[in-house]
Structure 1
């Protein structure tokens, strides 16, 4: 049977996030597409090209495991450069063609993920993922790269409770953040309490946990996507392990991210 209602809800948020970014970049002229973003060496075109490439890779994972295996092998031959290379190649296209490719890819991916049977694990560059996890990861990346585009244009992004999915991913990837740095994974659960843009309070973990993180859900999402430095965010940690987590939190796959410099030093 196709994926359940939880996937449908995340896919609806993914579509909304993609449409909001699409509306922003569709108005840009060629010079604006070339504008640098906070990601070193990446223009706005690079940001959209990366999203388009990753959507296509996820589509292969959901529909053609053999073709995805070939993409995985190519990435293994250049593990530290394949992402930038793909972004460079995509950014070289005209804005019209790049935008059309991104629109097609994200539409086809959403349709494919909606048809993935419950319990199916899709291959990926990291551990295999369910359709739900893949949709959440695509939402996280779309939101994070959209922030870079908004920063480049000096435009404030829309705030919505769609970030709940990203916050949930950030909580679930706690152990990964420690593992990818070769550090000991905490042996006890954490309590996370975050205030959503709507004012609702979202919680994870037992109420009596000694290790705690509290604060703004938006700031937590900015932290785990490494779009802002911890020093610039309204987050509070109680406990040594929780404090360390806020230094290294990372919701995206791959090697440890370098993060961003504090704005005071930028």
Structure 2
């Protein structure tokens, strides 16, 4: 690992408490759904609630060692499949569409139970070992924080699709999901939002998922604890709206965001918040 990409060392028990809480939250929201609700479309193109749960189940099955299933359709030709990861995800979704909703829920519970046992028993050396993650080479622990973020996002997908009560954002899964999103804000502000050198961008997340994220652009953009001076750009928005924008779940509505400082840069950053694959 180069000095520019240090290994992220995360406390195993903390991350696992969040990951397991995210699975529990999905289980809770889908456990009593009607057949009609299971078939509701979500914000993810081509996917119903059933498909979202199938995706989570398939990913955890793969991480438990299962190979990608064979399917009868060339999923790479589907409009919403844009890359190799999308192809892999879609194969699992297609395969598990053949299960009834009850069978899928049973499969989800069995698979996550296996994952809990395997992850709980994992040694510290393996937890901190560098592997390939959706964020590039990093520790297995970082990978599991990315999984927590992914599962938290999918819980929101399901809740939004069926009109369920808002997510519990007081749990460790919401905090860890936000930790993971905050880590990517240097990339979003500098690479995607093209904030000019010298920018000091403050994201003020409001509501129950509140947090302040500071990004300084000095050659390259990076997340910092504090600025040397006042921010040149401020962006204030609800934390759950920030989450949905980062995941590409909703369209940008600038009237839901408050800008300060260089508003043109702020608007450009918000328009490029969607960084998820």
TM-score, normalisation: structure 1: 0.72
Match of 2:202 in 1: 191
Match of 2:219 in 1: none
Cα gap change, 1:185 to 1:195, in 2 (>3 Å): closer
- Please give the alpha-carbon distance, in whole angstroms, between the structure 2 residues aligned to 1:122 and 1:194: 31
Check conservation: 2:159, 2:166, Cα contact below 8 A. Answer: yes
Check conservation: 2:182, 2:213, Cα contact below 8 A. Answer: no
Q: Does 1:47 find its partner at 2:74?
A: no
- Please give the alpha-carbon distance, in whole angstroms, between the structure 1 residues aligned to 2:145 and 2:255: 23
- Please give the alpha-carbon distance, in whole angstroms, between the structure 2 residues aligned to 1:28 and 1:230: 30
RMSD (Å), alpha carbons: 3.4
Larger proportion of strand: 2
Give the secondary structure class of the aligned counterpart of 1:149: helix
Give the secondary structure class of the aligned counterpart of 2:138: coil
- Please give the alpha-carbon distance, in whole angstroms, between the structure 1 residues aligned to 2:61 and 2:265: 37
Of 196, 208, 212, which residue of structure 1 is paired with 2:234?
212
- Please give the alpha-carbon distance, in whole angstroms, between the structure 2 residues aligned to 1:30 and 1:196: 33
Cα gap change, 1:243 to 1:167, in 2 (>3 Å): farther
Give the secondary structure class of the aligned counterpart of 2:154: helix
Give the secondary structure class of the aligned counterpart of 1:156: coil
Match of 1:121 in 2: 130
1:7-26 deviation line (CA, Å, top 9, x unaligned): 32232122222212212212
Check conservation: 2:145, 2:176, Cα contact below 8 A. Answer: yes
Q: Does 1:95 find its partner at 2:119?
A: no
Check conservation: 2:244, 2:250, Cα contact below 8 A. Answer: yes
Cα gap change, 1:157 to 1:92, in 2 (>3 Å): farther
- Report how far residue 131 of structure 1 moved: 3.0
- Please give the alpha-carbon distance, in whole angstroms, between the structure 2 residues aligned to 1:121 and 1:220: 29
Match of 1:134 in 2: 143
- Report how far residue 196 of structure 1 moved: 4.8
Cα gap change, 1:14 to 1:196, in 2 (>3 Å): farther
- Report how far residue 186 of structure 1 moved: 5.7
When the two structures are aligned, how many residues end up with a matched partner? Answer: 237
Cα gap change, 1:145 to 1:180, in 2 (>3 Å): farther
- Please give the alpha-carbon distance, in whole angstroms, between the structure 2 residues aligned to 1:119 and 1:210: 37
Of 149, 154, 169, which residue of structure 1 is paired with 2:163?
154
- Report how far residue 192 of structure 1 moved: 2.6
- Report how far residue 197 of structure 1 moved: 0.8
Match of 1:249 in 2: 273
Check conservation: 1:195, 1:201, Cα contact below 8 A. Answer: yes
Of 81, 84, 94, which residue of structure 1 is paired with 2:90?
84
- Report how far residue 177 of structure 1 moved: 4.2
- Report how far residue 127 of structure 1 moved: 1.2
Cα gap change, 1:169 to 1:34, in 2 (>3 Å): same
Give the secondary structure class of the aligned counterpart of 1:122: strand
Check conservation: 1:175, 1:186, Cα contact below 8 A. Answer: no
Match of 2:152 in 1: 143
Match of 1:7 in 2: 12
Q: What stretches of structure 1 of length at least 5 have no aligned partner?
A: 69-74, 255-266
Give the secondary structure class of the aligned counterpart of 1:52: helix
Cα gap change, 1:235 to 1:14, in 2 (>3 Å): farther
